[in-house]
Amino acid sequence: MKSGKLVVNASPIISLARIGCADFLLRLHDQLVVPKGVFQEITAHKEADQAVEWLKANNYKEIVRSVEVPAAISEWNLGQGESQVIAFAFQNREFAAAIDDRAAKKCAAVFGISISGTISIIIKAKKMGLTPNVEPLLLALRSNGFRVSDRIIMSALQIAEESNYS
């Protein structure tokens, strides 16, 4: 069963697309918003990659929205994508923000925005029956450049109730 609404930054899309799991974003949420700045960040590369292909395959032209970023959020000096994600979630309180950047997470917390990251999306996917195990996905994330400590991986495995770690 899908739950909630999510506005998503580039990192979760790129990271999940690299391991073949970007569809988790669609399958887990009632509504998914990709702000214009995030769309531009992902598609700015000259070479198409998995994230670009995923965006194109899912016709994100229809749900990409321009977002006005308030000065209070701009003052955090985050990237355009992170700023737009946080601003959208701040202006649309029914949306959680999918972000991985530590500074962006701090900013979102200050504004009382519900936060979801790539790892929590993977854990939620397991709980919803979209994947049998999170461990191979977490290791695939890491091998594809996603920076995550052993401590965070172990914590995620405990939360996901992986049989070898619970």
State pLDDT tens for residues 28-41.
Answer: 999 899 998 998 89
pTM listed for this prediction? 0.92
Q: Quick check: is 126 in a domain? A: no
pLDDT confidence tier of residue 77, bands split at 50, 70 and 90: very high
Average pLDDT, the chain: 91
Range of the domain at 111: 5-121
- Contact by Cβ (8 Å): 1, 128: yes
- The encoded tokens of residue 10 equal 């580039």
For the chain, how many residues are written? 166
Q: Quick check: is 90 in a domain? A: yes
pLDDT confidence tier of residue 48, bands split at 50, 70 and 90: confident
**In whole angstroms, how far apart are CA 3 and each of 6, 23, 146, 152?**
9, 14, 26, 24
Q: Quick check: is 130 in a domain? A: no
pLDDT confidence tier of residue 165, bands split at 50, 70 and 90: very low
pLDDT at 64: 64
CATH of the domain at 72: 3.40.50.1010
Residue 166 has pLDDT above 60, yes or no: no
Q: Quick check: is 76 in a domain? A: yes
Q: Quick check: is 13 in a domain? A: yes
Q: Quick check: is 45 in a domain? A: yes
- The encoded tokens of residue 73 equal 């959020």
Widest pairwise Cα distance in the chain: 47
Q: Which residue has the tokens 């580039």?
A: 10
Structural domains of the chain, count: 1
Q: Quick check: is 49 in a domain? A: yes
Q: Look at residue 11 and give its three-state secondary structure.
A: helix
- Contact by Cβ (8 Å): 44, 17: no
The arithmetic mean of pLDDT across residues 108-129, rounded, is: 96
Q: Quick check: is 23 in a domain? A: yes
